[in-house]
Amino acid sequence: MPTEKSVREVAELEEDFKTSQLVIAANYRGLSVNQMQGIRRAVRQSNSQFKITKNTLARIAADNAGRPWLKELMGGPIGFLTTEGDPAAAAKVLVNYIDDNKIEMTIIGGALEAEMLTQDRVIALAKLPSKEVLLAMLLGGMNRPITSLVMVMNGPVRALAIVLQRISELGASTAQADEAAAAPTPEASAETEEAPAAEAGVPEVDGPATETTEAGPDADEQKTE
């Protein structure tokens, strides 16, 4: 028979899993109470929370939330970061706090919506610019209606990353095209070299060409006759 506390924990974590685009699982083995409190205070800056519960209850919450793939992250003493804000900002706060304070906490992995993230991909997500910076880059590098930008900004962070990558590729392609346009083509070089040769040739004569006959003895005889 589940206790009232267990039922409440499952319900709270189920709601967190439902509403959070990003879930990060981290092994907290060996952390002190003060260190855990410090992590919880730090992640609140990004409108996030870090919660610890039994894996049995966490698995039930994942199933109830319709996100059973989260169970792949559950093994050992695991805590979960969930966020109602920018996923990149939430990952950045957690990763930076662990690094800056030399905390022995290991990030197991995560999930961005239905996409599973390895430890390396969680760290890569933490290195992405904030939404504000991405928006500024989008406005500077794209000529699209504002509605398109709003749709992109409302999407998951991976969509922003893809758009940013395409902007970078577009910029590189434009630069290469400019360089190609500025450089002389082989055909143009050949025409430049052949022009003086054409001018040095025999000039054309206007009007019909006249035939010339070679005078000889036969011609003199015709005149005499």
Residue 211 DSSP one-character state: P
Phi/psi-derived region of residue 66, left when phi > 0, alpha when psi is between -120 and 50, beta in every other case = left
Band of residue 129 on the pLDDT scale cut at 50, 70, 90: confident
- For residues 168 and 156, what is the distance between their CA atoms, to the nearest angstrom? 19
Say which CATH architecture domain 8-126 belongs to. Answer: 2-Layer Sandwich (3.30)
Q: Are 122 and 88 in contact (CB under 8 A)?
A: no
pTM of the model: 0.60
More confident of the two residues 9 and 140: 9
pLDDT at residue 174, rounded to an integer: 56
Task: Summarize pLDDT for 4-16 with one digit per residue, the tens.
Answer: 899 999 999 999 9
pLDDT at residue 127, rounded to an integer: 87
With a cut of 70, say whether residue 183 has pLDDT above it: no
With a cut of 50, say whether residue 224 has pLDDT above it: no
pLDDT at residue 140, rounded to an integer: 64
Q: What percent of the chain has pLDDT over 70?
A: 57
pLDDT at residue 214, rounded to an integer: 43
Least confident of 37-46, 165-174, 193-202: 193-202
Strand order in the sheet with 78-83: 48-52, 78-83, 22-27, 106-112, 115-117
Q: What distances in angstroms separate CA 3 from CA 7, 57, 63, 77, one per listed residue?
A: 6, 11, 19, 21
